Structure 1
């Protein structure tokens, strides 16, 4: 299930950087704010923003975060600040906020539901923090989602990491994110790390949660675009296609516009 393609990385980099610059200029904003997780998507996104010359605020927002995630995030931020004078950073420890929130709301005996709901709450607290800082500085909140996450399997939190102003890498597959990140000299520790959303306070990877690797899911996304179905394949390929279609279907509510109840004109007539 190989998805490797030959990319003109220099041209892609320049295109995205120019797109970011043009958007910021037209929106008359002062810069960008990016949440830094220690993962490859946020590392790439912040590097792209840094190249625009606009002030770029990198924000680390730990909530019971694994030390390895924190170390990778700090390594990337330090490297980026050394490379670009327009980059600055802030650390907002949201652990006390998260714990206070938990103490003020009702709970559930269903541990799986509770854990997932709390994981999404972490993402939404971070979104709120980014918009707060963005508001203070007049910055755009920049999304870090890639194509397979945002438009394939919907692997993000609605109004959490999905709550952003712009999405510069949302047309790049995860495999393409890796290639561009390597080209832009993102730290090896990030390039080699297992993808994880870090929302559960343990070492579970994205693959553990999704049931398939990003390479497999990218393959499935492309096959579905060709009109292929699980019954067209056998073994692991059929299984992966079923996983992809299930996730894509169940997460359509994230990918589609909010449903609006449109009233017939005759109901509005007085």
Structure 2
């Protein structure tokens, strides 16, 4: 694990140097993936790394866990509450669509959640411009394969150091990096609404996804769910589609 961590830290330094920036930043959610990334960028740039806590109708536990991650790794941090910005933007969109009789209440929950992720992305890039940093993402292999991220939200980043690591491997790395135990042991959740968990939304577990990615057998029901999620989210892992030139 020490070899893996050193490899990632060296890679982060290299990418920052290639981009001619001064450091790196990450959004710290209180979850295990962002905790690991916060530790990695702190090791890569001890004096030029930043953890951004961006509550937006978030649970109290999430912010407490984010703060414990910040304290444990000693990274510089900033808190920017996006609740008011989200309320203004979402209510304005809803009001205008209701005037057109075009508001889709069935899609409102998803639109609300995706807007939060995209507001956080915009905030991170505003911070990155201010500091001359790159934005580092937190998606692991399971999330990347299944598309469990918001396009141009938490998927809108410059670097994805954990994309080749399963959720289980990220958990091992977190223990090696001395991430707080309560962060390691909590149920994975995007914190989008009360009681929301990643696995309930996906319909399968990270353990099953990890096994599938390693080529190990999993129940047919889980295999079908994982492959359906992968196929449906292909557009998230690609650049915006463009038509071919007419020659």
TM category (shorter chain) comes to over 0.9
Larger Cα Rg: Structure 1 or Structure 2? 1
Are 2:155 and 1:162 equivalent residues in the alignment? yes
SS of alignment partner, residue 220 of structure 1: helix
Q: How big is each residue's C-alpha offset from its partner over 1:101-127, in whole Å with a ceiling of 9 and x where there is no partner?
A: 122113576544110111011000000
Contact 1:156 1:162 in 2 (8 A): yes
SS of alignment partner, residue 90 of structure 1: strand
Q: Which runs of 5+ in 1 are unaligned?
A: 1-8, 82-86, 227-232, 266-270
More displaced, 186-195 or 111-120? Answer: 111-120
In the alignment, which residue of structure 1 is the partner of 2:224?
A: 242
Are 2:84 and 1:96 equivalent residues in the alignment? yes
Are 2:159 and 1:177 equivalent residues in the alignment? no
Are 2:119 and 1:128 equivalent residues in the alignment? no
CA distance in 2, matches of 1:10, 1:218: 21
More displaced, 25-34 or 152-161? Answer: 25-34
SS of alignment partner, residue 62 of structure 1: coil
CA distance in 2, matches of 1:69, 1:245: 30
Out of 102, 105, 108, the position equivalent to 1:114 is 108
Q: How big is each residue's C-alpha offset from its partner over 1:166-217, in whole Å with a ceiling of 9 and x where there is no partner?
A: 1111111111000011111000010000000112x21211011011110111
CA distance in 2, matches of 1:222, 1:44: 21
Contact 2:55 2:81 in 1 (8 A): yes
Are 2:22 and 1:30 equivalent residues in the alignment? yes
Give me the TM-score of the superposition, normalised by structure 1.
0.85
Out of 11, 14, 33, the position equivalent to 1:41 is 33
Contact 2:35 2:179 in 1 (8 A): yes
CA distance in 1, matches of 2:182, 2:173: 15
Q: CA RMSD in A?
A: 1.6
In the alignment, which residue of structure 2 is the partner of 1:261?
A: 243
Are 2:69 and 1:71 equivalent residues in the alignment? no
Q: How big is each residue's C-alpha offset from its partner over 1:201-243, in whole Å with a ceiling of 9 and x where there is no partner?
A: 21211011011110111222334xx8xxxxxx8xx70110111
SS of alignment partner, residue 58 of structure 1: strand
CA distance in 1, matches of 2:73, 2:7: 20
Q: Number of paired residues?
A: 240
Out of 108, 125, 134, the position equivalent to 1:140 is 134
Give me the TM-score of the superposition, normalised by structure 2.
0.93
Are 2:199 and 1:207 equivalent residues in the alignment? yes
